[in-house]
Amino acid sequence: MFSECLGEVRQSRSDRRAGENQGVLELRAWYNSVMDDSSPFNYPEPNGPDERALLRAGGADALADLLQQYQAPLERIVHFRISPVLRSRIDPTDVLQEAYFEISRRIQEYIDGVPVSFFVWIRQKTVQTLIDMQRNHLREKRDANREVLLALPSHGQTSSLSIAKLLLDDMTSPSQAAVRVEEIQELQSALESMNETDREVLAMRHFEHLNNQQVAEALGLSPTAASNRYIRAAAKLGEILKSLSSRHGSP
């Protein structure tokens, strides 16, 4: 059970960045050392046996119903995750279509016992699909879009860029547009200085509207660790914004 879970995490994150697997293991080691938990590998039983049962019994119709149910949150996630560079070229609906296809193809894997809740599983499939699509999109037009390819941030940075942009969006008047670009970059690099997992926790909680349990599952953390990380990340964000505010807010 655990190894499957780890495998899933690995797969979903394998494309994010080289060495990420190592990162998961490190996280686990960190968890071991930090958490006061006698059995660190004892991940909670994912809740969602009902969905699994539903799928087992209902087949394709059940899946369609469930996907329909989760469409809004998935849309939100795609919207947030999509690279700003490609926002004009990739339609979020296409991403969902593609993801649904992938999900229905592999639904048996889930039914057979991927140990996370259904939503977290389809979220991961969707994000993975988005990443693949973005990559393909750029690969196809590599020659024409070389600079775009170079400009495409790695996945982890996408969330920080998105957060930075959103935080500072329309905060300044047009005459300060140049300042704004700088501020975005500044905030982004500050966000990038955060632990990546922490930042992901923050993004998932507030922009994807995942709850703690879901975040824990998605990142292969215990709920306690996810919870602690969230607080740590929020505090860090507060510091970042404070330091920005003292730099830009004072004359």
**Site residues (vs other proteins, CB under 8 A):** 44, 76, 79-80, 92, 163, 166-173, 175, 202, 205-207, 209, 211-212, 222-224, 227-228, 230-231, 234-235, 237-238, 241-242, 244-246, 248-251
**Please, which residue, 99 or 210, has the CB nearer to other proteins?**
210
Cβ 175 to other proteins, closest distance in Å? 6
How far apart are CB 73 and other proteins at their closest, in Å? 11
Q: Minimum distance from CB of 188 to other proteins (Å)?
A: 14
Q: Which is nearer to other proteins, 107 or 219 (CB)?
A: 219
56 or 242: CB nearest other proteins: 242
Which is closer to other proteins, CB of 20 or CB of 200?
Answer: 200
CB of 32 to other proteins, least distance (A): 16
3-state secondary structure 66-128: HHHHCHHHHHHHHHHHCCHHHCCCCCHHHHHHHHHHHHHHCHHHHHCCCCCCHHHHHHHHHHH
Report whether 71 contacts 126 (CB < 8 A). Answer: no
Between CA 7 and CA 14 the distance in angstroms is 10
Buried b / exposed e over 139-164, threshold 16 CB at 10 Å, is eeeeeebeebbeebbebbbbbbbbbb
Here the tokens at position 2 are 């655990």
